[in-house]
Amino acid sequence: MATEVSQIPAEETPAVAATTENAASEQAEKPAGEPAASVAAAAENSSAVANNAQENKEDAKASPAADGGDAKKDGEANAAAAAAPAKSEAPAQKFNVHKANFEKDIIYLYQFSRTPLLPSLSPYCLKVETWLRLVGLKYENVDHKMRFRSKKGQLPFIELNGEEIADSAIIIKELSAKYDKNLDAGLTAEQRNVSYATIAMLENHLIWVIFYWRAKYPDNVLKGYKVNLQHALGLRLPNSILNFFFKITFGRKWFQGTKKLKAHGIGVHSAEEIEEFGKNDLKVLSEMLDCKPFFFGDEPTTLDVVAFAVLSQLHYLSKDIVYPLRDYMTEKYPNLIGHVSRMKEKCFPDWDEICTKLDLNAHIPKPEPETKEGKEGGEQEKSNEQEGTEGDKIEKELEKDKSNEKESTEENKEKEETK
Give the model confidence (pLDDT) of 92-103 as tens digits: 566 778 887 889
Backbone angles phi, psi at 160, to 5 degrees: -135, 115
Residue 93's alpha-carbon distances to 29, 85, 151, 162, in angstroms, are: 60, 22, 20, 10
Residue 27 lies in a domain: no
323 in a structural domain:
yes
**What is the average per-residue pLDDT within 63-74?**
51
Return the pLDDT at 264.
86
List, in order, residues 6 or more apart from 157 with CB less than 8 Å away. Answer: 110, 149, 150, 164, 165, 166, 167, 171
The whole-number pLDDT of residue 215 equals 86
Contact yes or no for 231/113 (Cβ under 8 A):
yes
In a domain, 222, yes or no: yes
The whole-number average pLDDT for the span 390-408 is: 57
Question: Is 254 a member of any domain?
Answer: yes
The answer to whether residue 61 sits within a structural domain is: no
How confident is the prediction for the chain on average, in pLDDT?
77
In a domain, residue 161? The reply is yes
Does the pTM exceed 0.85? Answer: no
pLDDT at residue 346 greater than cutoff 70 = yes
Q: How confident is the model at residue 305 (pLDDT cuts 50, 70, 90)?
A: very high
Determine what percent of the chain falls in helix, strand and coil, rounding each to the nearest 5. Answer: 60, 5, 35
Determine the Cα–Cα distance for residues 126 and 119; give it in Å rounded to an integer: 7
The yes-or-no verdict on residue 85 having pLDDT over 60 is: no
Quick one: pLDDT band at residue 237, thresholds 50, 70, 90?
confident
Domain tally, the chain = 1
Identify which of 194, 197, 150, 191 has the alpha carbon closest to the alpha carbon of residue 170: 150
pLDDT at 5 over 70: no
Phi, psi (rounded to 5 degrees) for 408: -65, -40
Q: What percent of the chain has pLDDT over 70?
A: 60
Q: Is residue 147 part of a domain?
A: yes
Residue-number span of the structural domain to which 189 is assigned: 107-357
Q: Tell me how crowded residue 106 is: count the other CB atoms within 10 A of its CB.
A: 14
396 within some domain? no
DSSP letter, residue 202:
I
For position 309, which CATH number holds?
1.20.1050.130
How would residue 133 be classed by pLDDT, with cut points 50, 70 and 90? very high
